[in-house]
Amino acid sequence: MAWRSEILDWLKKLTVIPGPSGREEGVREVVASLIEPFVDKLWIDTWGNLVGLKKGSSGEGKLMIAAHIDEIGLFVSHIEDDGFLRVVPIGGIPERTLLYQRVVLRTRDGRLVRGVIGLKPPHIAKPEELQKIPEMRELFVDIGASSREEVEKAGVRVGDVLVFDRDVAELMNNRVAGKAFDDRVGVVSLIKAAQLLEEPKVDTYFVATVQEEVGLKGARTSAFAISPDAAVAIDVTIASDIPGVAKAEWFTRLGKGPAIKIVDGRSASGLIAHPRIVEFLISIAEKYKVPYQLEVAAGGTTDASIIALNKEGVPAGTISIPSRYIHSPVEVVDLNDVYNTALLAKYFAEEATPEWLREIKGRVLK
Ligand code: CO
Ligand code: ZN
C-alpha cells in the first residue's frame, strides 16, 4: 500500500485549511500545487474553480471530472458588545452538530482565531432546555474576547467565516475521521487520478469546483466553459451502515469500494445518472477488478446533477466515496475506498474514446 501515506498526507493537508463556500482560495492554492505536476495546463476561472487539463492523444472529445473544494461552515453575522460572535450557516450545517464544537476563523490578514460554541451548563438550564436543540440564532461563538473592541483588534469582522477545528484521526482498519471529508476525500481522489492517468485519448479536465454546498454553483459555470461530452463527479455519499439504521437503508457501506451512483434523491435537483455512464463505470470496475458497489440513495446530490443540465445536456454520473456522519466534524471514510475511487476515475478517463463520446450523444434519425 505505497499509496496510503501519500493519500493520508494529502488529506491531512487539505482538510485543515478552512474553505467554506465562497472562501475556497486557501484550499485551491494547495490543490493547485499538488495537481500541477500531473496536468498540461492549469488555470483558475472567473468563478474560482481550479481547472487542470490533461491533453488527449486523439485531439478530440472532452471529459470532465469534478470534485468540490468547498465545505460547510458559518458566517459571522454579528458581534456582541461583550465579545461573543453570532453566526449564520454556510450550506447544510445542522445546529445539533455545532454544540460544544471548536471552530476556527482565518482573518483577512491571515491570523488564526480559535473559538468554541458554548451552551448554558446543565446546572442552570431549565429541564425543557436540556431536551431541545437550540436554534442557530441562539448559538454564539466564544473566542475568549470580553468586548467588541477586542474582537475587532483580533482582526475579526462581520462576514468572516468559521469552520470546524479538527485534525484527521486515524481509526482502525484504514479508516480515518475528520472534518470537511465532504469533499476533500473526493479532491484527494481527483489529484490521485490525475497522477495515475497516463495516456488519455480524450482531453480530460480535472475540476476542483467551488460553492457546491450552496447549490452546485462552481460546477455549473465550469461545465459551461468546458462544455464536456461526458462528466463524472467524485463526492462522498451516505454510508449508513451504522446502528439504528435498518439494513434495507444501508445505501452504501464503508470499505466496500467506490459506489457507482444510479440515483440520488427523487427531487427536481437530484441526479438520475446517465445509464451509459453507469454501465461504462461498471464494466471498467469489472475489467480492472476495482471493488465497487451500486448506490441508490435517498437524498443529497452532487455536481453531476448540474453538469448534466449544461447546454443541450451532458451524460453524467457520480463516483461516490462512502462516508459516515456527513456534514459533521467526525466524518469517517475508509482510505481503501478513496484510493479505489481514484483508480476507477483514472480507468474511466483512460478507457474513454472519441468514438464512445460520440456514441453516447444524441443521434439523427432521419
Ligand atoms: Co456536502
Ligand atoms: Zn459534497
Kindly report the CATH number assigned to the domain that includes residue 95.
2.40.30.40
Residue 125 reports pLDDT greater than 90:
no
Q: How far is the CA of 188 from the centre of ligand 1 (A)?
A: 16
Residues sharing a CB contact under 8 Å with residue 195, sequence separation 6 or more, in sequence order:
37, 38
Asked if 158 and 226 sit in the same domain, the reply is no
- Confidence class for position 248, pLDDT limits 50, 70, 90: confident
Q: How far is the CA of 324 from the centre of ligand 1 (A)?
A: 12
Domain count, the chain: 2
Contact between 264 and 295 (Cβ < 8 Å): yes
**Cα separation, 219 vs 211, whole angstroms:** 8
51 belongs to a structural domain = yes
Asked if 60 and 79 sit in the same domain, the reply is no
Residue 88: predicted pLDDT: 97
Residue 121: predicted pLDDT: 86
Residue 297: predicted pLDDT: 87
365 belongs to a structural domain = no
Residue 1 reports pLDDT greater than 80:
no
173 belongs to a structural domain = no
203 belongs to a structural domain = yes
**Cα separation, 281 vs 262, whole angstroms:** 11
Asked if 219 and 158 sit in the same domain, the reply is no
Q: Which residue numbers are catalytic?
A: 212
Asked if 260 and 111 sit in the same domain, the reply is no
Judging by DSSP bridges, how do beta strands 203-209 and 230-238 pair with one another? unpaired
Residue 235: predicted pLDDT: 98
Longest Cα pair distance anywhere in the chain, in angstroms?
78
Average pLDDT over residues 96-109: 96
Residue 266 reports pLDDT greater than 80:
no
pLDDT top residue among 258 and 266? 258
Asked if 80 and 98 sit in the same domain, the reply is yes
Asked if 200 and 128 sit in the same domain, the reply is no
* Residue 99 Cα distances to 94, 103, 139, 160, 209, angstroms: 10, 11, 8, 20, 29
Kindly report the CATH number assigned to the domain that includes residue 12.
3.40.630.10
Average pLDDT over residues 56-72: 98
Q: How far is the CA of 132 from the centre of ligand 2 (A)?
A: 28
The domain boundary residue, chosen from 138, 164, 190: 164
Asked if 249 and 129 sit in the same domain, the reply is no
Asked if 152 and 260 sit in the same domain, the reply is no
Asked if 226 and 349 sit in the same domain, the reply is yes
Instruction: Count helices and strands (H / E) in the chain.
Output: 11, 18
Alpha helices in 272-365 (DSSP H): 275-287, 304-307, 335-351, 354-359
Look up the domain containing 81 and give its range: 73-164
What are the cell numbers at 347? Answer: 480507468
Counting ligands in written order, which one lies closest to the CA of residue 233?
A: 2
198 belongs to a structural domain = yes
Nearest partner of 46 among 256, 211, 287, 250, judged by Cα: 211
Residue 265 reports pLDDT greater than 80:
no
Asked if 223 and 248 sit in the same domain, the reply is yes
Q: How far is the CA of 344 from the centre of ligand 1 (A)?
A: 21
The domain boundary residue, chosen from 108, 137, 164: 164
- Confidence class for position 300, pLDDT limits 50, 70, 90: confident
**Cα separation, 50 vs 294, whole angstroms:** 29
Residue 49: predicted pLDDT: 98
The domain boundary residue, chosen from 104, 138, 164: 164
Asked if 193 and 290 sit in the same domain, the reply is yes
Q: How far is the CA of 183 from the centre of ligand 2 (A)?
A: 5
Q: How far is the CA of 124 from the centre of ligand 1 (A)?
A: 36
Nearest partner of 348 among 64, 4, 35, 51, judged by Cα: 64
Average pLDDT over residues 97-103: 97
**Each residue of 316-336: b (16+ CB within 10 Å) or e?**
bbbbbbbbbbbbbbebbbbbb
What are the cell numbers at 129? Answer: 432546555
